[in-house]
Amino acid sequence: MPEKKPLILVTNDDGITAPGIRALIEVMNTLGDVYVVAPDSPQSGTGHAITINDTLYCDSIKIDKEQPQKEFSCSGTPVDCVKLAVNEILRRKPDLCVSGVNHGSNSSINVIYSGTMSAAVEAGTLGIPSIGFSLLDYSMDANFEPVKEYIKAIAIQCLNNGLPKGVVLNVNFPKVNEGEIKGMKVCRQANAHWIENFDKRVNPLGREYYWLTGEFVNEDKGEDTDEWALHHGYVSIVPVQFDLTAHHAIKDINTWDL
Amino acid sequence: MPEKKPLILVTNDDGITAPGIRALIEVMNTLGDVYVVAPDSPQSGTGHAITINDTLYCDSIKIDKEQPQKEFSCSGTPVDCVKLAVNEILRRKPDLCVSGVNHGSNSSINVIYSGTMSAAVEAGTLGIPSIGFSLLDYSMDANFEPVKEYIKAIAIQCLNNGLPKGVVLNVNFPKVNEGEIKGMKVCRQANAHWIENFDKRVNPLGREYYWLTGEFVNEDKGEDTDEWALHHGYVSIVPVQFDLTAHHAIKDINTWDL
């Protein structure tokens, strides 16, 4: 750990009052000086959205009166929160940014839709060691107790070792009871996608509308994937990069008649 | 080209009436049967956001009365548009999805904020060859004439050759006059980031708010990057992947004491 107390930024996409972020704050308070800058309302599925055509509010608030963290509630997206925190609220670059704990999975292809992971990625682009945490339980009554020790262990390793340049961590926890987690595995993102089943309805004025609902399709049988680890009771840790270049495809495209 | 007339899905993030998408539709009408499913309002910077806590409207409309494409205006994000198109509107999987032409750059790190590119990526996750096009001119009066021949050439190659599995194309055009484009280069994403300069103001009720404004910082001197190509008058073509795993980092993280 750094000699001085580390400065830790906490955010999420379920909103600043969600049980998942309260659990994350509790763990981070044992490790450093904690600043929370998180959305004032749920922002699930916002991906890497930023607010460019609207105003942003960001107000100091106090939720847990007996806890030491400083908290700010922001009208923007998770990525806006990170940008505001780093550029307007914190006096120096944080030593660690943690996002979550998300209520629901951000494994596999879900990483690209995830506001939780996008916040972590944004901090990563600014050179901040950064981790997104998610629990495979969408309920607001989800039990975060079994995962707190793992969050702490991963955060300590990240503070001690840093992360390779251009890499952030996507950590997902299986939904199991205390003592049932089998361990942690460093994994690759499973090759999966969503098939949508839109629920078509008619509003009271007679106009058709849709609700997006979908089915997750995992095509990947690999035992080195996050999906495999989670289905077998392990915590999955996927190192994620934001250089999206498909380097292996450059040669292919160069054969085109352009 | 496939023997039957290809089915082409067109979307964007600037909204269905933006000049950029009208230019793209015009080119695609020369190549196949065109369906447009695009946002009913500007959605710049929405990233890979999806609409999960709100309803979605999607209505058939006719904008260019003398053109053959079918058009649908959607209340959702660019990614919602692709999901709706593929699952509700099109009778079969399209042969090509094109997104744009975006008014403004989606090169380098901008790819992660871009609704235009996220739409292309979404189509890619569904196995559809897919290309995002952007012109480095934010103006609504931007001149798309010089880029039409390049869009056509790239789309034809994509229809003829397909794309490697898990890869979509991020194509950016420099802002130059007709005849001044020097050629096309297949590139990697430059290593860059944004430094935000929030514009802090006070609203009429006395409450502080912010506008997000930023400065693009390119740390990458490489001559094989999209930024280099664009600054030197070339069209940049970056193959983009949505397996975000930083495979090179798995070994590193496995050395941690977890």
Give me the phi and psi of B252, to 5 degrees please: -55, -50
Q: Is the dihedral of CA B102, B105, B108, B114 positive or negative?
A: negative
Q: Considering only A12-16, B1-5, B93-97, which range has the smallest mean pLDDT?
A: B1-5
In sequence order, the 6+-apart residues with CB closer than 8 A to the CB of A4 are none
In angstroms, the Cα distances linking A66 to A6, A17, A37 are 20, 15, 18
Higher local confidence (pLDDT), A258 or B235: B235
Distance CA A85, CA A79 (A): 10
Contacts of A196 in chain B (CB under 8 A): 83-84, 86-87
Instruction: Say if the Cβ atoms of A245 and B250 lie within 8 Å.
Output: no
Where does the pLDDT of residue A134 fall: very low under 50, low under 70, confident under 90, or very high at 90 and above?
very high
Does residue B226 carry a pLDDT above 90?
yes
Instruction: Say if the Cβ atoms of B52 and A46 lie within 8 Å.
Output: no
Q: What is the pLDDT of residue A65?
A: 86
A202 touches B: beta carbon within 8 Å: no
Instruction: Say if the Cβ atoms of B57 and A208 lie within 8 Å.
Output: yes
Contacts of B126 in chain A (CB under 8 A): 193
C-beta of residue B47 within 8 angstroms of C-beta of residue B118: yes
pLDDT mean across residues, chain B: 95
Distance CA B240, CA B223 (A): 18
Does residue A118 carry a pLDDT above 90?
yes
**How many residues are present in chain A?**
258
**3 state SS of B176:** coil
In angstroms, the Cα distances linking B223 to A60, A248, B189 are 45, 18, 11
Q: Which of B165, B171, B188, B101 is nearest to B137 (CA)?
A: B101
C-beta of residue B11 within 8 angstroms of C-beta of residue B97: yes
C-beta of residue A81 within 8 angstroms of C-beta of residue A37: yes
Instruction: Say if the Cβ atoms of B212 and A188 lie within 8 Å.
Output: no
Does residue A1 carry a pLDDT above 70?
no
Chain A residue with minimal CA distance to B149? A258
Does residue A17 carry a pLDDT above 60?
yes
Indicate the residue of A47, A188, A249 with minimum beta-carbon distance to B118.
A47
Express each pLDDT in B103-153 by its tens digit. Answer: 999 999 999 999 999 999 999 999 999 999 999 999 989 999 999 999 999
Strand partners, B199: B211
Does residue A252 carry a pLDDT above 60?
yes
In sequence order, the 6+-apart residues with CB closer than 8 A to the CB of A147 are A23, A101, A133, A135, A173, A181, A235
In angstroms, the Cα distances linking A242 to A67, A180, B98 are 34, 33, 22
In sequence order, the 6+-apart residues with CB closer than 8 A to the CB of A206 are none
Compute the count of residue pairs across chains A and B with CB atoms less than 8 Å apart.
237
Instruction: Say if the Cβ atoms of A243 and B189 lie within 8 Å.
Output: yes
Chain A residue with minimal CA distance to B153? A258
Q: Establish how many alpha carbons lie within 13 A of residue A58's alpha carbon, considering only the half-sphere containing its beta carbon.
A: 30
Where does the pLDDT of residue B1 fall: very low under 50, low under 70, confident under 90, or very high at 90 and above?
low
Cβ count near B117 (within 10 Å): 33
Q: What is the pLDDT of residue A104?
A: 96
Kindly give the pairing relationship between strand A192-196 and strand B33-39.
Answer: unpaired
Where does the pLDDT of residue B4 fall: very low under 50, low under 70, confident under 90, or very high at 90 and above?
confident
Instruction: Say if the Cβ atoms of A48 and B51 lie within 8 Å.
Output: no
B196 touches A: beta carbon within 8 Å: yes
Does residue A184 carry a pLDDT above 90?
yes
At B209, which amino acid appears?
Y
Express each pLDDT in A35-63 by its tens digit. Answer: 999 999 998 889 999 999 899 999 999 99
In sequence order, the 6+-apart residues with CB closer than 8 A to the CB of B149 are none
Q: Considering only A7-11, B64-68, B91-95, which range has the smallest mean pLDDT?
A: B64-68
Please name each of the domains of chain B with its CATH number.
Answer: 7-190+222-244 (3.40.1210.10)
Instruction: Say if the Cβ atoms of A240 and B246 lie within 8 Å.
Output: yes
C-beta of residue B35 within 8 angstroms of C-beta of residue B69: yes
Task: Calculate the dihedral angle through the C-alpha atoms of B176, B181, B182, B188, rounding to the nearest 10 degrees.
Answer: 80
Express each pLDDT in B150-205 by its tens digit. Answer: 999 999 999 999 999 999 999 999 999 989 999 999 999 999 999 999 999 999 99
Q: What is the pLDDT of residue A75?
A: 97
Contacts of B86 in chain A (CB under 8 A): 196
Apex CA A253: angle with CA A252 and CA A257, to 5°? 115
Instruction: Say if the Cβ atoms of B47 and A46 lie within 8 Å.
Output: yes
Express each pLDDT in A22-31 by its tens digit. Answer: 999 999 999 9
Please report which helix (H) or strand (E) contains residue B196, including its range: strand B192-196
Contacts of B153 in chain A (CB under 8 A): 258
Q: What is the pLDDT of residue A178?
A: 87
Strand partners, B134: B102, B172
pLDDT mean across residues, chain A: 95
